[in-house]
């Protein structure tokens, strides 16, 4: 059986597995570390359902395709259809929050960008979006004031606060819903703070949010 959405409390999640809508450069410091301009409006791209895989107990990265970087992000699980949605509809339409990795083939992405070509080869490959189980919204609390981090082999690499997003979570979902209809089972990856770097097979990762640690290994 392939990937299925899960809730952290073990309760059933009957939502189908949909697309992932991802946001580039939603933290100013991350844009700067890659030498990119801070965008005036959200940069959006898609990952297909085949990109979604469980974060735990481990996940694979492509071999022989250059560096694969981690980008740790707050994830949002959509529970109801959202199109041109306002704040109240969005709040009612969210099924859960969690963490995810937007895996990026950085060498490939840089070459594609130089040629003015789309990023899909670098961002949307099979397994490119490892996801944690989801917290239900009433447990997660204020997603717009959330601290999260990633450690690799015992050393912290990424540490962020959602309040530092250029476009906040609810404003982001509102914007996305004017462009892509969000269906039940879709996931939004909301952007990564600075500190992205290459992963290697055997790396031990710990993603942390709400005093919960998701431990995993790169295969």
Q: Where are the alpha helices (DSSP H) in the chain?
A: 28-33, 87-93, 106-114, 120-123, 137-140, 169-176
Average pLDDT, whole number, for the chain? 95
Of the candidates 203, 174, 187, 171, the residue with the CA atom closest to the CA atom of residue 73: 187
Q: What is the pLDDT of residues 36-64, one digit of tens each?
A: 676 788 999 999 999 999 999 999 999 99
- pLDDT for the residue numbered 15: 98
Q: Which residues contact 96 (CB under 8 A, 6 or more apart)?
A: 5, 7, 13, 76, 77, 79, 134, 135, 136, 137, 140
Q: What pLDDT is stored for residue 183 in this prediction? A: 98
Q: How confident is the model at residue 102 (pLDDT cuts 50, 70, 90)?
A: very high
pLDDT, residue 34, reads 64
Please name each of the domains of the chain with its CATH number.
Answer: 20-218 (3.90.850.10)
- pLDDT higher than threshold 70 for residue 1: no
What is the structure's pLDDT at 87? 97
CB atoms within 10 A of CB 32: 13
pLDDT at 110 over 70: yes
d(CA 175, CA 159): 26
Note the pLDDT of residue 31.
Answer: 58
Contact yes or no for 25/38 (Cβ under 8 A): yes
- Tens-place pLDDT, residues 144-177: 999 999 999 999 999 999 999 999 999 999 999 9
DSSP codes, 15-59: PPP--EEEEES-BHHHHHHTT-PPPSS-EEEEE-GGGEEE-SSEE
Q: What is the pLDDT of residues 74-83, one digit of tens each?
A: 999 999 999 9
Asked if residue 132 lies in contact with residue 214, where contact means CB atoms within 8 angstroms, the answer is yes
Q: What is the pLDDT of residue 2?
A: 84
- Tokens representing 173 are 């979902």
């Amino acid at each position: 059986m392939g990937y299925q959405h899960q809730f952290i409390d073990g309760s059933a999640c009957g939502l189908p597995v949909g697309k992932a809508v991802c946001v580039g450069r939603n933290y100013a410091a991350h844009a700067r570390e890659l030498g990119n301009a801070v965008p005036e409006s959200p940069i959006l791209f898609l990952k297909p359902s085949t990109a979604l895989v469980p974060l735990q107990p481990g996940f694979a990265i492509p071999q022989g395709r250059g560096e694969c970087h981690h980008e740790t992000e707050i994830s949002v699980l959509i529970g109801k259809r959202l199109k041109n949605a306002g704040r109240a509809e969005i709040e009612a339409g969210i099924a859960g929050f969690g963490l995810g990795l937007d895996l990026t083939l950085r060498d490939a992405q840089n070459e594609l960008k130089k040629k003015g070509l789309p990023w899909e080869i670098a961002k949307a490959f099979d397994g490119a979006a490892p996801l944690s189980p989801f917290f239900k919204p009433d447990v997660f609390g204020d997603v717009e004031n959330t601290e999260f981090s990633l450690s690799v082999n015992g050393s912290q690499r990424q540490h962020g606060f959602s309040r530092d997003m250029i476009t906040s979570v609810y404003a982001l979902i509102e914007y996305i819903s004017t462009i892509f209809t969000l269906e039940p089972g879709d996931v939004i990856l909301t952007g990564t703070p600075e500190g992205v770097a290459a992963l290697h097979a055997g790396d031990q990762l710990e993603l942390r949010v709400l005093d919960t640690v998701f431990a995993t290994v790169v295969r």
